[in-house]
Every structure is written in structure tokens, then in C-alpha cells.
Structure 1
Amino acid sequence: MSRNLNKHKGAAMIIFVGFLPFMVMIMAFSVQLSQQMLAKARLIEAAEVASLALVADTQGTADDHNELAANIIDRYINDNKGTISITMTDMECSDNNGCLDKRDETEPFREMMVRAKARYDAWMFYENVNIEPEFELNSQSVSRRYLPRPVDIYFIVDFSSSMGDMWQSGETKTKLSVVKTTLKKVIEDLKDFNRYNTDRSRVALIGYHQYNVRNINGQRIIYDMDIYKSITKTVNEMFNEKPKADDFFQGNDPYAPRTFNDVQLTDDYDYFISEVESSIASGRFRAVTHSWQGMLRAAVVSDQATNLNPVQVFIVLSDGKDNIREFYDGQTMYKSDNFLKKLAKNGLCDKLFENMKRKLSRHGGNISVVGGVIGIDFSLDKNTNGFYQCMGENNIYHASQGEHVYKYILQLLNEETGRLM
């Protein structure tokens, strides 16, 4: 009995010894596979964090990017052997380099690819079956950041007398003062965003009360954009230049204050701001609100513009309901309420926006258009105000406080410019 038992023990020992190399190999393989999986996960995470950090870095140089990527990956990977190899690829796809069309993309973007390669000492190895004492892993990650597109912004600003009033909310500045401060902030944003684009964003100022005012050879001249008795003709002729107003108005400030003037599309931001600063709302009661003067002038200015950016934005800033439109043809005085609404029903804004969409951007691409109205301490009435037909209900805002003006301008820009902010 004991002899048979010894035989079985001996046979088991022989089997165990025979299988021992195989079991060691399995153990070494399992341990090294586990180590590689853990190390791979850390390397993937390190590359992803590095690519996100690099694509978010808008100011750094190539050397800065190399240093940043190395610091991030070294922080994640501390069990490697030797130096981690890091390579980066920075690719920008924008309107001016033709990439958007080639790749069938709709928004400009920047992509940063980070590749990392590292060597490790194995926790367990078995060289007899090529489970080496060292192994190498590599990983890569691509992060994309959408870039702001260059825009042309037409600020259509109400310079009626009431824009010189204080806010109902208790703001310490007048309504126009808040608008001026806001436009300065928007300009600072545009300066920042321009670094992403070869083409600079541009801005225009189109002012109105009952007339439009332009700077002609250093003199402010009054123009009347509404010279036809017929609504249909007014819309049909909206893209044509209009003559200056009668001499009576040119020299009679109480009837037509010349306290502002247009600024054509420009990327000379200092000039734009200086013109905005020199503009005031007349304190005279005769400076009323005829918003169609601004819209009709915007049609001419935008139609004449060249080298268009791919996004055209029309933003109206007004603090009150339009006054009654009066028209005297030399014999009869005609009066009409809600005049902008009548013009809008006859296609004023539809034609304005469609005219821009038919044009091509400076690089031959399509143009997108957005319009919006910000009521400056003023809530627009849906039933009577023509801007609801012009811009659409979703693009009508009520700025009950000064800080809202900036917020709503950014909202209009963000929705149509590829995540501008």
C-alpha cells in the first residue's frame, strides 16, 4: 500500500515538475499583461490630458508646448525606464487655408495630436518564451478646439433723445453710456479672437433717430433713408443710396440733431471706439425713434461692403417704440404707425438677409447671417413691433440691466460664429 502511494507521489511530482515551467510562463505572462494594461491606461490618460492642455493653450510657442506636454506626462508616468518620447502635431483648419472645404467641415478648428512612447521594466518575465524583461508602449490622443470665425458686425444704434436717460433699474450711467462701454468690451473680445484668424473681424456703427447721419469730409450730414410714400417702393429701393436731407434740416439741430455719425465696416478698432465715444444722444425732444432708418441704412452699407467675412451679424440696440412716421410729399402729410412692421411684412429684413446670403465670403465660401434686437431698458411689444417679423422672436432680448447688454450681444455671437467665446 505504501509502495503504491509512493509511486503516485512520485508521478505527481514528475507531473508538477514538468508543468512548472509552463505555470511560471503563465504567471509571468499574466503579471506582465496586467502591468502593461495598467501602464497603457495611464499612458492613454497622460496623452489625452496633454493634448487637451495644448489645444487650450492659445499663447504658447512650440517650445512652451513641448515643455507643457513633458511636464504633464511625467506627472502621470513615473514608473517608466529612461526618457519618454513625446511628439506633437498641431493642425489648424480654417476658412483661409482651404481646409474646411477639403475636409467637408463647417466650423474652423484646431487639432492637437500628442503621441507618447515609454519603456518599462517588467515586474515578471520569462525569456525562454520571449516574455522580455522590458517592454515598450505607445499611445496617442487628439483633441479639437473649435475656433471663432471672423465676423462682420453691424451695430445699429438708436440715438434718440431718450437714450440719454437713466435706467429704471438704478444704473448710475445713461443708457447710451452703457451701450458705449459694452461696445468697448466687445472690441476687446474681438482683438483677442483675431489671433485665431488671418482675417480680422470688423465692426460698423449705423446710427439713427428720425434720420441717419454720416461724416462727409469732416462734417456731419443728415440723410433720409425713407423718401418714398410707397412702402413697396421703399423696400424695392432699399439697397440704393439716398440723397441727403433738405438744407433746412442740415442747419437746424432742434429738428435733426447731428450728434453722431456712421462708421463703415472697419478693423481699425481705435478709430471705431473714438467715433463711438464722440457720439451722444441729443437731449432735444425732437430726436425721435425711427428704427427703419437704421435698417434701411444697414441694407446699403452691407450691400456695398467687400471682402466679406463668413459671418454677418446685425445687432439693433434701441430703447423705445418707434414714433409715428410722417411723410409730406409737398401737398399732403401722410401718417403711419407701426411703420417698421409694415416694411417687414413687405420683405425688408428678408431681403436684407437673403442679399447677404447670396454673396460669397472673401475666400469664396458661403455666408451665414444672424440678426437680433436688444431692447435697452425696453421690452418690445410682439403685436406692434416690426422687429419680431425682422429678426424672429428668439432673437429679441430685453436688457433690463446694463450688464445684460453685453450678455445678449455675446449670446447672439456665440450662436452663429462657431463658439466665438
Structure 2
Amino acid sequence: MNLVYADADGNVYDHPTWIGLGRSGDMVVELMEDELIPLPEGATLVGLPHTRPIGLDPKKGTMAVLPGDVQAVGALMPQGYTRLNIPSYVKTNKDEKFPLFGYTAVVWKDGQFYVAAEATDDPERWNPLNCDRRDVASGVELLTTKYPENRLYKHLSNCALGYECLTSSNTFLQRWEGGVPVSYSCNAGCYGCISEQPDDSGFVAPQTRMNFRPTVEEIVQVMMEQLITPDAIISFGQGCEGEPSTQAKIIIEAIKEVRSRTSNGFININTNAGLTDHIRGIVDAGLDLMRVSTISALDDHYNAYYKPRAYTLKNVEKSLKYATDKGVYTSINYLIFPGVTDREEEIEAMIGFVKRTGLKLIQMRNLNIDPESYLELIPKPQGEIYGMKQMMDIFRDECPDVVIGSYTHIPPDKLRGK
């Protein structure tokens, strides 16, 4: 497996003799054959700015920095793929931070690119190649014309056309899982927030957060247009907004109004679930699915990343348990990072969290972050690091009734019940 690198102009090469490596946390590691899969459709190769690649020089039998005016290369994976290692590199300027994406180790092998990743879900619905941009543009024209006063459709049109966000694109294609953002504020200060960053963070937020409070009628219009088929999903809580449960009142009113008109489809919320009383109200209004974002089941790690305001991880656990007990199909949006998520203490804590809350699905999500910044932020490892592949095997063994996936699933029994 050959080292992959890029030159100053962004041209990508494989080294004829050097062996490609990966990283787990801050450790450079060899890549195992069973950790590699061919570069999947929808993946993107990117150069890592201000870096030099680290590879294995077979002549010397040692790891070394590749000389010359070159930079390391990583792969950005489509949904449905969980990375097992990040690229191996050294920064040439430690003050520079990577853009907020999730970078996966990539090598050249058997005449093609391979990545250190595992397919954890069927990528079909979230493959960017299955989203025709011309159809999206037509959908934007149709719905913004039909609802010219609806600010949500105007806001989402920028997400769909400008950012090419697949969830907002689905809103205009009226298929699968579509989004309905509602909140401009948040009760957490996530270190890697993609819609709002403090001026001194050193990161540039890749998306713009909504800046208005929608009316119930605006929300209902978007929900009703999405829920036209039995298996459609409409989701509160998008990357372009804050925490949706801070707007619980209008969410509750909108859900009740929609459910008075149709039983079609499924209503989902993506939430940090810290506002337990608000979550209870939303659940009781008729919620079907709930996906809770978390990075850890350990307080010190969770607090370092989320910087929760007036809530704790215990509130998150209570919210999940309440929703599960009320028949909501619950999952976690698990922000994962090789060398951290697969630590012994992290695995043990998460297994306990899963069992106590009764959640049904773990959605593996590659954390979009600058690795060095993240590793400096969180607690140091205490126990053994198992590796991402073994970690997922442990979850499957310890929690056999919990699905390991990458995005929202509709339970077959719920679909039949509709």
C-alpha cells in the first residue's frame, strides 16, 4: 500500500516505494489489510494544508517525513462510511487549523485508492451522486413560488443550492429525510460547531446559521409538503440552526397541527436533548424519531466539547430514556474520532449509557474537526486503545439489539403501523 501525497498545485501522486500509514489519535500506526476498502463513490480526496506526509521508508525500515514541497492527503467520506484512521502527517505550522471536515487515511493499492474505513450503512440515499442538482433547482423554484412568503423555504434554498446540503435538497425534492430548521440559538457552545464559531476560535464555520424565528404556519407548510408519502421523514435540528428544542413551543404547536391533518410519514428531531422538560413536551406532541448528538458518555469529555449551558449529560440521559419509554425510536448521533472513541474508558461508559437509555440505534458520524485542536481539548486516555474496528465489534457483542449504522432508520414495525 503506497503513500499518497499531493504537490503544491494539488496534484495527487502515489509514492513508488514508501508505504502509507495512518493515525490513531496522536499515534502514527500501520494500516491493516482488513481496515482498507476501495475509495467509495461520493468520496473526495483533499490536500491537508500546512502539512507533510509521514510514511514508512522501506529502505531504512523507519517512519519518516516525506521530503520536498508536498502535503499529506486525506479522504472526505460520504455518509454510510465510518473512518478507522485519520491521515498520517506532521504540521509545518502548528498554528494553522484544518477546515471543519472529517479526514480519513488514504493509500494507493492494487491500482486504485483505498481508505481506512468501514461501510456501516447503505449509502444509497445519501450518496451525493444520487442527488440531481437540476431536480433540486426545479424543486426550489416550485416551492418558493408556491410559498413566496415562507422564509424557511428561502433559507433552505441557500442550503440546497449554495451548500448542496443533501437534507435540505431532500426538502425540495420531497423525498426521504428533509429538514425544517427552527432555532437561531443554542444551549451549547460546541467546539466544532459548523454554523457558529466565536471570533477567536481559529475555525471558519462552513455554514451560516438561520437568523429568524419561523412562524408555526411556515413550519407546518414545510412539514406538510415533506410528509406526502408514508415513509417520508421531516427533521427538526439541522446544521444551519442552533438547538431546536429551545423553540419547543412552536415545534409542539406545529406537530399537533400537522398530525391533525395527516398521519403520513415520520417526525424526527436532531437534538442535544439537554432541555429535558422541552423534550418531554415535544415527545408528547407526537414525535416518532429522536436522534441525540453526543461525543461521549463521560462527563469531562462531553463537557469539554459541548460546553453545555444549564444542562448536564444526566439531562441528556433522562431525555433519551423518557422518549424511549414513550415509544419513540431513539438513536444517538455519535461523533467519533479514531484514537479517542475507541479508548477503553469511552467504550465502557457508552455501553452503560446505551443500556440505561434503551436506545435502538448508534449512528456513527465522523467528527469534523482539526485533530490537534480536539486532542488538546479533551481528557488524556486512561486505558487501552482498541481500534475503531474492534470497538464496533464490542458494541455489537455487548448490545446485540442495537443497530450500528450511519443515519436514521425507520423501524419496519412502525412503517407497517402507518
Which structure has greater helix proportion? 1
Task: From the CA coordinates, give the structure whose radius of gyration is larger.
Answer: 1
Q: Please say whether Structure 1 and Structure 2 have the same fold, judged by a TM-score greater than 0.5.
A: no
What TM-score do the two structures reach when normalised by structure 1? 0.27
